[in-house]
């Protein structure tokens, strides 16, 4: 005999698993629980044997996290996706699931500095080596690939925004039986869908544009069922960097406005980048959208880019005079941000330097937020004038 209280409890659990019936809520519920109980020995056994798929423990499966993973997989046109507690958790779990001692990774130059440190500091200790190549130089990539296990890409790359031909690079990797992985945080699936060009796996720092509100640290990997299953089997449960239900819920909110935010970032970013390119105190602007045509794999551009100031412009003075652009790392939220490369160089000095950086000291990175491009342009011009 089931009393009304316990049947309600069970009903609440079931609707939480079934988003189509979640109290008719337009926003999926946050299933903020570590564990899920079973109604019988048989149900527990069936679940453990894999005959029944249902949550047992949130590190394995959580409905809110699964909701985000399903949305992201659809956006990337992937069969499956898996959420992580950070972009670096997604990157480390993905890469470490696919390599073993003696293997070699081919990685693009100007990769995200913590990915570089993962390769140089941690993977090296486990006998994995890395060859760095210029993503624009297909011959160099082709020469580096034979015998490698993994091709690790960013396009555009961090800071210098070098862009590669994803279809050609994916074909090269396939020819040698090498799994290809790309960090797509910059473009997001709104502007670039790497799997459609033959890349095997896409990783994201969801802390950036996907969240879009600078209030979450999270990551995700998307790709074929088979590769996601390999990550699930090899590293993910043991490294344990699981996305939390509340953060997944914030990411679901972020995804709902992602196309509109990206359009607004694109317009504002291009508007500022074009005006910088024409400014007499600016010697270079590294933004993939300034050419006559967009690179083939990009259908648009986000608003993170870097530029170089003429010798003699005092960079500390320049950033100290900025009012709307705040000094800060990360990007992808509402607020505009600035990072002088000199500061990043200082952080990366020493034997474990992520630099390889080859970013000139006159280089400054901007994230153009949503405050309005005219106001942001006034801010930049007054700060350049004050520093010149
Ligand atoms: C921020 C970032 C990462 C790392 O993501 P976290 O969420 O901070 O761990 C990886 N790749 C790129 C390109 C990033 O900008």
Residue 23's pLDDT band (cuts 50, 70, 90): confident
Residue 349's pLDDT band (cuts 50, 70, 90): low
Answer yes or no: are the C-beta atoms of 180 and 151 closer than 8 Å.
yes
Using a 6 Å cutoff on CB, does residue 336 contact ligand 1?
no
Q: How far apart are CA 156 and CA 76, in angstroms?
A: 17
Residue 3's pLDDT band (cuts 50, 70, 90): very low
Longest dimension (CA), the chain: 83
Ligand 1 center–CA 241 separation, angstroms? 14
Residue 46's pLDDT band (cuts 50, 70, 90): very high
Q: Is the pLDDT of residue 14 over 90?
A: no
Average pLDDT score over residue span 122-149? 96
Q: Is the pLDDT of residue 17 over 70?
A: no
> pTM for this structure?
0.93
Helix axes 225-234, 87-98, angle to 10 degrees: 90
Ligand 1 center–CA 5 separation, angstroms? 45
Q: How far apart are CA 202 and CA 76, in angstroms?
A: 8
User: Which atom of ligand 1 is nearest to 88's Cα?
Assistant: 9
Residue 345's pLDDT band (cuts 50, 70, 90): confident
| Torsion over CA: 126, 131, 132, 137 (sign) | negative
Lowest mean pLDDT among 3-7, 178-182, 224-228, 353-357: 3-7
Q: Is the pLDDT of residue 8 over 60?
A: no
Mutation pick for ligand 1 pocket among 185, 203, 303, 367 (CB with most ligand atoms within 8 Å): 185
Q: Is 94 exposed, middle or buried (0-12, 13-18, 19+ CB in 10 A)?
A: buried
**Mean pLDDT over each residue of the chain, to the nearest integer:** 91
Domains parsed from the chain with CATH numbers: 7-255 (3.40.640.10), 259-387 (3.90.1150.10)
Long-range CB contacts for residues 18-24, cutoff 8 Å, separation at least 24: 19/63, 19/67
Average pLDDT score over residue span 33-56? 95
pLDDT for 357: 60
């Amino acid at each position: 005999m089931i009393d009304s209280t316990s049947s309600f409890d069970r009903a609440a659990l079931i609707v939480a698993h079934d988003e189509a019936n979640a109290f008719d809520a337009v926003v999926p519920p946050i299933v903020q629980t570590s564990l899920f109980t079973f109604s019988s020995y048989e149900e527990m056994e069936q679940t453990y044997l894999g005959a029944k798929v249902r949550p047992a423990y949130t590190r394995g499966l959580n409905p809110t996290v699964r909701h985000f993973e399903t949305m992201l997989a659809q956006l990337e046109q992937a069969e499956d996706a898996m959420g992580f507690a950070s972009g670096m958790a997604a990157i480390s779990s993905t890469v470490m699931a696919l390599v073993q001692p003696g293997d070699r990774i081919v990685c693009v130059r100007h990769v995200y500095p913590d990915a570089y440190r993962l390769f140089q500091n941690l993977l090296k200790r486990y006998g994995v080596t890395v060859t760095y190549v210029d993503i624009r130089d297909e011959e160099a990539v082709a020469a580096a690939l034979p015998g490698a296990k993994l091709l690790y890409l960013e396009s555009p790359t961090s800071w210098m925004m070098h862009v590669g031909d994803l279809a050609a690079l994916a074909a090269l990797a396939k020819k040698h039986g090498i799994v290809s992985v790309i960090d797509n945080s910059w473009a997001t699936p709104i502007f670039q869908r790497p799997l459609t060009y033959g890349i095997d796996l896409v990783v994201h720092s969801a802390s950036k544009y996907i969240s879009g509100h600078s209030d979450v640290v999270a990551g995700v990997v998307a790709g074929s069922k088979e590769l996601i299953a390999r990550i699930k089997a090899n590293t993910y449960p043991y490294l344990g960097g699981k996305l939390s239900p509340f953060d997944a819920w914030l990411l679901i909110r972020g995804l709902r406005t992602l196309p509109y935010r990206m359009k607004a970032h694109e317009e504002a970013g291009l508007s500022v980048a074009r005006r910088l390119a024409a400014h007499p105190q600016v010697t270079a602007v590294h933004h993939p959208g300034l050419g006559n045509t967009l690179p083939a794999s990009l259908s648009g551009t986000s608003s993170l880019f870097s530029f170089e100031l003429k010798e003699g412009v005092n960079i500390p003075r320049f950033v100290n005079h900025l009012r709307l652009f705040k000094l800060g790392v990360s990007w992808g939220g509402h607020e505009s941000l600035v990072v002088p490369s000199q500061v990043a160089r200082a952080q990366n000095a020493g034997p474990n330097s992520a630099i390889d950086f080859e970013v000139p000291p006159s280089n400054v990175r901007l994230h153009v937020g949503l405050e309005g491009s005219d106001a942001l342009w006034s801010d930049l011009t007054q700060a350049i004038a004050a520093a010149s």
